[in-house]
Amino acid sequence: MMPLPSAQGGGWQFYGASSVFVLTVEVLAHAEKRIGNIMSLDALDTRFWPEFSKEEQIGSGIRDREAIDKLIQLYMNSTNIMYQFIDEETIMEDLDVYMDIRSRGSDFSLLKGEEANRFFRISMICAIACGNQSRYQSWYSGESMIFHSEALKCLEEVTSEVSVESLVALLLLIVFGQFYPQKGDLWKLLDYACRLSIELGYHTEQAAENEDEKQKLRRRKIFWGLYAMERIAGQLFGRPADLLESNITAEYPETHSIIDTVSISHHYRLVYLRSEIYQDLYLPARPPSFPLDWYRDRLSMIMQWRQELGFEGDAMASGPASVTCETGYNASILFLFQPLMLRALIQTQDPNYINEGDAVPSDNYHAACEMIKWNGWNAGHVQEAIRQGTTPVNEKANTTKVPLKMTAPSILLFGATGNIGQHILRAIITSKSNFSQISIFTSPTTVQSKAPFIASLTNSNVHVLMGDVTSRSDVVKACQGYDVVISAVGRGVIASQIELISWIKEAGVKWFFPSEYGTDIKYGPKSKDEKPHQAKLKVRENLEKSGLDYTYVVVGPYPEMFLKSVLPPEYGSFDVKEKKAVLLGDGEEKVGFTAMPDVGKFVVAALLHPEVSKNRALIVNSFTTTPHEIVKEFEKQTNSKWTVTYTSLDDLRKLEEESWEKGHPSAASMTLRRIWTEGGTLYDKMDNEELGVKETDTLKHQVKLVIEGTQ
């Protein structure tokens, strides 16, 4: 309601007809009259409500750099995807200043200039990130309040000038107010921010000729982020716009990123379209009575917006970006037809009502069904929703979602210092921009014995967690807060992962990569009886019963080990110095190999394509070749003719049997070599392409590495 002067001395104008809350109240009132009391608290499903206690409001003191950095990453990968007014390139500089201020024990109220702005930004970012998380982990609410109160100590300083820093400060307060409306006057903050943006000229392109491309993009991101916030809040709660469309000439912040284009610019277009509908349908003092053709025209515009997305298929199976677009589309249809629905609800409460041709288009019904389906799915997946970045624009406005990028997952790696673990870790670090946090779990002994390697990880912003992998308390504590755990433990401790599965589930981890990275243990009917497979088979059985999501990365043998084997020559060998080779079988049996760096590449691809990789075995490789082709490549690169002998499959089986009988350490390796020679790495189709991996290592390169290693 807003005061409205009139000839009779004044009155009130109701601006809330556009609010989803008005529709909710009318639906509940209608149901009460039709079927009786439905508002008993006992009828409410509270399974997904976070537990809360007064003690939790105190906060637990998140102030170390690692924790602050994690909150910043959460903010940057969720809120800042939608409202991109925080500069990604300077955020770490802000953090450095923030930590320095805290270490000095400075009085925050005395901060001035750039220091004040940097401290305020980090404090508010952390407050917002904690507010975001508090909807699912209630103790974050206390931390959010602490960060907010610290930021307010330098509020006057950071909002005292007509500058972009002041505008960003206001925008941060507005976003925070969406989680905690009682902590500020949202309308005043929006009003101040809109006026300041106009004073800075951010709503036009008049200053574009004096800006470089980076400055233009930043200005547009800031303005359209403010525009979206102002419009969404106005449409939810019924409020006229401060930013008039007739004055806006700022271009949309187009980027080359597909996610950004869908989640940012296209969302702004939908908000703009809804704003035009809002002005015509909801703002007039007397509610208009448009013909159905008017509604059809507006519906056509909304449908055209959706078609421009080019999206087809099941949104829920395609990820949060698609879900958000579908939700925005259906919410807009409800927004368009809400006046008709309200009218119908009021009319049909009268038991004597006779329908004389009034109608609500069926699109409204189908859109409502889609919204119910999405919100029902979301209610049971709140933790997954916050990790994937699908979050409400306001803590009370759960029917209106804003599109946020999938939050970058946090990764914890076991066995990271081992042979294959190092390659997996290196690939993850190379792609670190896709992950909110990268950590390894290792023992204090390893930290000491591999100090240079551990130091290099620390320099790469990898967090090193120390503990005992056989200790439940150490593992559960280390895994808390991580989305994905990847195991790369060695063959000798494969079975220990059975306990690890229960511990990481207890810690709240959702997705587990067990240590596979080798031969397919379910290749055929005989695979279940192979001795080297037994531990992995038990791990798979327990994992698939655990309820965790899982991914098995099956890669076959590593050429690095196959081509320079330390086993006796008759087990298969390539001797560069002697120019001799002992080939298994007849030399024509094809074998699929995966280079160790490519194993890391495939693990990263699996992490980035959960829609492809979850709850299945991925079959991948670098190249497929034969022993004869390997010898030819050695001969070519050494410019020499090699002496070749053979170990037949029958002889190989005898050697394998003898190895097991004698308890030889190489027995498992012999079994695997026999499996490879029998064709246990060959498939009609690999999963490389589905994972988006097009370039892999080659036989030529692997042979070159072996030759160089012997010189």
What would the pLDDT profile of 661-675 be if each residue is shown by its tens digit? 999 888 999 999 999
**CB neighbour list of residue 133: distance below 8 Å, 6 or more residues apart:** 74, 140, 386
Cα 386 to the center of its chain, rounded Å: 9
Segment 66-81 mean pLDDT: 84
Measured CA to CA, the distance from residue 669 to residue 492 in angstroms comes to: 13
66-70, 80-84, 547-551, 677-681: which has the minimum mean pLDDT? 80-84
Mean pLDDT for 309-321 is: 49
What are φ and ψ of residue 219, in 5° steps? -60, -45
CB 26 within 8 A of CB 339: no
| Residue range 318-360, pLDDT digits in tens | 444 455 667 778 888 888 888 888 878 777 766 666 655 555 6
| Residue of higher predicted confidence among 691 and 395 | 691
For range 72-82, the mean pLDDT? 81
Residue 85 has pLDDT above 90, yes or no: no
What are the structural domain ranges in the chain? 56-184, 408-515, 516-711
Does the structure show a pLDDT above 80 at 1? no
Q: Residue range 380-386: average pLDDT?
A: 47
Residue 142's contacts (CB-CB under 8 Å, 6 or more residues apart) are 56, 57, 58, 59, 60
Compare 267 and 599 and report the one with higher pLDDT: 599
| Mean pLDDT within 10-22 | 58
Geometric angle at alpha carbon 164, from 113 and 279, rounded to 5°? 145
Burial of 433 (0-12, 13-18, 19+ CB in 10 A): exposed
Span 505-511, mean pLDDT?
92
Task: Say how far apart CA 163 and CA 196 lie, in whole Å.
Answer: 8
**pLDDT for the residue 549:** 94
Superfamily classification of domain 408-515: NAD(P)-binding Rossmann-like Domain (3.40.50.720)
Q: Do domains 408-515 and 516-711 have the same CATH topology?
A: yes
pLDDT in tens, 423-464: 999 999 998 888 888 999 999 999 989 988 988 898 888 999
Answer for the pair 693, 602: CB distance below 8 angstroms, yes or no: yes
Distance CA 353, CA 348 (A): 6
Residue keyed to tokens 């907010």: 148
- Asked if residue 198 has pLDDT above 80, the reply is yes
Return mean pLDDT, the chain.
81
From residue 238, how far is each of 275, 284, 431 by CA, in Å?
12, 12, 44
Per-residue pLDDT at 469: 92
Confidence of residue 589 (pLDDT cuts 50, 70, 90): very high
Instruction: Return the axis-axis angle of helices 113-134 and 164-179, rounded to nearest 10°.
Output: 20
Predicted confidence (pLDDT) at residue 53 exceeds the cutoff of 70: no
* Nearest C-alpha neighbor of 223 from the set 285, 182, 278, 272: 272
- Tell me the catalytic residues: 536
∠24-271-28 over CA atoms, to 5°? Answer: 5
The number of C-alpha atoms within 13 Å of 323 and in the hemisphere containing its C-beta is 25
CATH superfamily of 516-711: NAD(P)-binding Rossmann-like Domain (3.40.50.720)
pLDDT confidence bin for 36, thresholds 50/70/90: low
Nearest residue to 386 (alpha-carbon basis) of 361, 364, 408, 413: 408
Considering 20-29, 293-302, 456-465, 635-644, the range whose residues carry the highest mean pLDDT is: 635-644
Query: Rounded to whole angstroms, what are the CA distances from 529 to 368, 503, 525, 532, 666?
Result: 53, 29, 8, 9, 18
**pLDDT in the model for residue 40:** 56
Provide mean pLDDT across the span 378-407: 40
Look at the block and give the residue holding tokens 């390697």. Answer: 453
Phi and psi of 674, rounded to 5°?
A: -65, -45
Alpha-carbon gap, residue 113 to 119, rounded angstroms: 10
Q: Rg of the Cα trace of the chain? A: 31
pLDDT of residue 255: 53
Q: How far apart are the first and last CA of the chain?
A: 84
**Residue 523 near residue 680 (C-beta atoms within 8 A):** yes
Q: Residue 42 pLDDT > 50, yes or no? A: yes
Token duo for residue 344: 């119908």
Reduce the DSSP state of residue 11 to 3 states and report it. strand
601, 426 in Cβ contact below 8 A? no
Tokens of 186: 């949202």
| DSSP β-bridge partners for residue 550 | 512
Cβ-based neighbours of 307, under 8 Å, separated by 6 or more:
none
